[in-house]
Chain A
Amino acid sequence: MDSREEAIYNRSLAAMALVGFLSFLLLSAYRKPLDFLPFYGAIAFLTVVFVGYFFTGWILANSDKFLLLLSSFLAQLGLIMLCRINPELFKRQVIFFAIGVAFFILVSFFTKYLLRLELAPFFYWVATAALLILPLLFGVEKGGAKNWLVFDGFTFQPSELAKITFAFYLAGALKNGRITSLPRMATEILAVVGLLALSKDLGGAMLFYFTALIVIFVATSRADILAVGGGLSAILGVLGYYLFDHVKVRIEAWLNPWQDVPGRGYQIAQSLFAIAEGGYFGTGLGLGRPDFIPAVATDFIFSAFAEEFGFLGAAAVVLMYFLLVYRGIRIALRLQKNFDILLAVGHTVMFGMQIFTIIGGVIKLIPVTGVTLPFMSYGGSSMVMSFASLGVLNGLWQRALEDEDDDEA
């Protein structure tokens, strides 16, 4: 690697460690009596980061440090907030993070060497659908959406894994640059979206739908499908508004949260109050009131972050997520095979849309839909699967570089 880049990465790593030590030390003093749990947590976290960072560098010569470092930094900011909100969640999230990094390495490896064999897209579709049906049959409801599986105390959200299989399905089905059978593809995609809607996971349904639409456009260049799909989404939205109460509630809360603050506008109003309180520099770590915000550890963690780190902190987070998306796109552009490109685009779009949906939701740019903010929100499935997604991108990146090396040889 370029020594100049190497130096930048090392500096960033140092900055990250410093942010970690400072904020976790501060948080150790937050609760009385002095509690060093945050500090030990920080050491565990940073150890995972360093080990992960150097280990991937060692086993995968050209591993994309950009992806790993940036996502770890975001995870660290999330951990800081979690530690401040609820130390119990923080402990578990550190473990999830470690598992996530392990998955990142595993999936990178797997993608690089093993996925040369492309399974039939139908296989991936079946996998996706099965993952989404499972919780409908055996799942439990959490936060209004029935998309959780429980195996003795261990909960898992299959829709997170389905994001990955769905991206594989899209890439496989479209790798020839055209849709073999439009009715069939439309049915398959709408079935997946429908399953998500059935489990009341509206955010998920929206994500899958738009990701499919965009990947189809990228593969086929067909603006007509994009237009029809966009129109259809508007129709579905209006239908949903009239058919489902929970859709209606969310849209009304978005249009005018102030009409009924104690009722349907409650979540979004509390989120906006928090962001407003922050100002430019924030209230300071530990001095905000995240306890006022509902679902603060998961969906609304961005609001809590914005309160304590201010507009500047929030803007930095948005920019960092943007850089992640940028990197995904760059990887896609460096790839040669259609399947690889579409796979990279699929993952990036899923990822980017999810970030836009949840941040846009909590700042009231768009209606709130319950999706997590990758890397920052509390949740094992989300954390691990987001890292797995990055692993796919990283694996593809290896492939791109390898192909280029082959060419030069």
Chain B
Amino acid sequence: MYELLAQVMKFLLIGLIYYFLYNFLKLMVLDLYEERRSSDETDYCLRCEDGREFPIRRVTTIGRAKDSDIVIDDPYLSSKHAMIYRRGKRLIIQDLKSTNGTYINGRRIKKPVALKEKDVITMGSRKFTFLRREARGLERGSDL
């Protein structure tokens, strides 16, 4: 009698164990998904003259359009003005054929240009500084 019970029960128990495992695997997948989203960000940002900071992602679009990553309400900007994207370790800025153009350190760019820290980007009447985001208490001692 016990034997029969145990035989039946073993399938049930294995099923439950796997159900439990499945739940935790799902949690892991959720974790990883979140991880991916956050790893979309880079260590850099654009700081506006008024002090606001816009984080730069893997691909960041700038313009008046509401679906831009950095929305700037300025009549001198085009709706899709410029784009910053990552190529290997560098971040590249490209002008999207805007009416008034994009300037790096006062010079208008025609082709995509790699950004360096503290570059000043001018779009329309706005000036932005390209900066590394504050590293917070991280890696001070390491030999990076």
Residues of A within 8 A of B (CB): 2, 4-5, 8-9, 11-12, 15-16, 18-19, 22-23, 26, 29-30, 66, 69-70, 73, 77, 175-178, 281-287, 308-310, 312-313, 316, 319-320, 323, 326, 330, 336-338, 403, 407
What is the bound-complex CA distance between A203 and B67, given in angstroms?
58
Knowing A281-B14, A282-B10, A284-B3 touch, does A320 contact B138 (C-beta < 8 A)? no
What is the bound-complex CA distance between A73 and B18, given in angstroms?
12
CB distance from B5 to the nearest CB of A (A): 6
CB distance from A246 to the nearest CB of B (A): 36
* 28 A-B contact pairs sorted by A residue (CB < 8 Å): A5-B27, A8-B23, A9-B23, A11-B23, A12-B20, A16-B20, A19-B16, A22-B9, A22-B12, A22-B16, A30-B2, A66-B24, A69-B24, A73-B20, A177-B141, A178-B143, A281-B14, A282-B14, A284-B9, A284-B10, A285-B13, A286-B2, A287-B7, A308-B10, A312-B14, A330-B35, A336-B136, A338-B141
What is the bound-complex CA distance between A29 and B12, given in angstroms?
17
Knowing A8-B27, A176-B142, A338-B141 touch, does A319 contact B21 (C-beta < 8 A)? yes
Chain B count of residues within 8 A CB distance of the other chain: 33
* Interface presence of B25 (CB below 8 A): yes
Residues of B within 8 A of A (CB): 2-3, 5-7, 9-14, 16-21, 23-28, 30-31, 35, 136-139, 141-143
Report the nearest A residue to B143, measured CB to CB. Answer: A177
CB of A316 within 8 A of CB of B21, answer: yes
What is the bound-complex CA distance between A157 and B13, given in angstroms?
33
Which residues of A lie under 8 Å from residue B141 when comparing CB positions? 175-177, 338
Which of these, B17, B28, B30, contacts A4 with CB under 8 Å?
Answer: B30
Report the nearest B residue to A10, measured CB to CB. Answer: B23
Report the nearest B residue to A73, measured CB to CB. Answer: B20
Which residues of A lie under 8 Å from residue B31 when comparing CB positions? 330
CB distance from A285 to the nearest CB of B (A): 5
CB of A309 within 8 A of CB of B25, answer: no
Which residues of B lie under 8 Å from residue A319 when comparing CB positions? 21, 25
Of the candidates A177, A284, A323, A407, the one having the most CB atoms from chain B within 10 angstroms of its own CB is: A284
Which residues of B lie under 8 Å from residue A4 when comparing CB positions? 30
Report the nearest A residue to B19, measured CB to CB. Answer: A15
